[in-house]
Amino acid sequence: MPGPSLALSNMRAVTILLVLSFHSSLAYLDFLPPVPYRFDAPPYTWQAFPIIDSRRFVPFDLICAWQDVCLMSIFFFLSGLFVWPSLSRKGIAIFVTDRIKRIALPCIAVVLLLTPIAYYPSYAVGAADSSLEGYWQAWLALPFWPCGPQWFLWELIALNLIAGALCLVAPHWGDRLAMLASKAREHPLKFLVGLMAVSALAYLPPALLYTPWEWTHYGPVAWQVSRPFHYAVFFFAGIAVGAHGIERGLLSIDGPLSKNLWVWTGAAVAGFTAWIVPTSFVVDNADAPLWLQTAAALGFVFGCASGCFAFIAAFLRYARERNGILDSLSSNAYGMYLGHYVFVVWLQFALLSVPLPGAAKALIVFGLTLALSWSLAVALSGFAPALRAVRAQR
């Protein structure tokens, strides 16, 4: 594999570790209320925080805040990189069929079968009747079907279908996007500014009209109201870079990201600061002035784009060689994503009464979730050829 491809493969392995660590830490955030969120009360915040432990660890608030700003945008950018080569090679029909098989069908299966299992502890911690019958009645009484972390897959399949549909009206639209990315190697700052400008247009209106944290549900599909268009920008930015060629453009080994890692790191720190400072004044203040809300939204745009560039730059600089452990993690990342949430929530539930510090509990949850979800993904991928769809295609 070329250097950039190996770096991206290793980055895929590390991002699944970040996802597992993020969800493993949520029960121990310092800002959470002292009691669990009610299962039957809007806005159903227990979906994001199924378990709330009395043991907290303040640094998790900052770590998870950075991940919330950058991590999913990185996922969408990575997901877009190989869309145009795949469309060009397979054609629309095969591309769409493959995406439905690989993304939509596993997502549906997990949402219908595993998500109710994952969320039972969230019901049990506050229920007078913790029986399975009582839980199922409470589950069916919800005005939607919770999907958990699989919201990402719903948006991803929608973006892939849009990419395929665009070929029907503009067969060469990917090549035109590639032209926009062709100058990114020589002018990375212009590319970053352009990405931020389009992202701001996509993010600011819904973030100001609603709030940056509001979610909505339609049946088993959920999305964060302020972010779908923002994620679409990063997905299509990934398509543009991938269509131009990852070996010779922005992501080349000797390109502007890897050469200027510390510049991008400094920009990422500045961007995160530009987001977290105004956000700290508006997060619990519904009457915050418009200028402060706008500053927080613009800080999110800056922090997200600069953080993504710095994260990618670090792997292009230091993680471009093959590693057996990272290879296995990368190959099984998708399967781990599909199955990890059940282990996270039940382990947090099991540790509620254990007298350990919050950091120690999070470490235990992360370690066991990593071992169990990794083992499950490996076992399923080797069980039958039909189940190998959960493995990453290189």
The full length of the chain comes to 394
Q: How many CB atoms lie within 10 A of CB 280?
A: 12
Segment 237-291, tens digit of pLDDT = 999 999 998 888 888 888 888 888 999 999 999 999 999 999 999 988 878 899 9
For strands 221-224 and 215-218, give the pairing. antiparallel
Instruction: Give the Cα separation of 68 and 383 in Å (integer).
Output: 34
Residues forming a β-bridge with 217? 222
Angle at which helix 228-244 crosses helix 151-169, to 10 degrees, equals 60
Instruction: Give the Cα separation of 16 and 274 in Å (integer).
Output: 27
Q: How many CB atoms lie within 10 A of CB 223?
A: 18
Reference 144, options 87, 222, 213; nearest CA is: 222
Segment 29-76, tens digit of pLDDT = 999 999 999 999 999 999 999 999 999 999 999 999 999 999 999 999
Residues forming a β-bridge with 383? none
Distances (CA, A) of 89 to 84, 86, 104, 280: 8, 5, 21, 47
Q: How many CB atoms lie within 10 A of CB 273?
A: 13
Query: Which strand (E) or helix (H) includes residue 267?
Result: helix 261-282
224 three-class SS: strand
Contact 359, 18 (CB under 8 A): no
Contact 381, 388 (CB under 8 A): yes
Reference 202, options 236, 251, 240; nearest CA is: 236
3 pLDDT band, cuts 50/70/90, is: low
Residue 223: phi and psi, rounded to 5, are -155, 150
Segment 314-351, tens digit of pLDDT = 999 998 888 889 999 999 999 999 999 999 999 999 99
Task: Give the per-residue pLDDT at 63.
Answer: 94
144 three-class SS: coil
Structure tokens at 140: 């069916």
Task: Give the per-residue pLDDT at 187.
Answer: 86
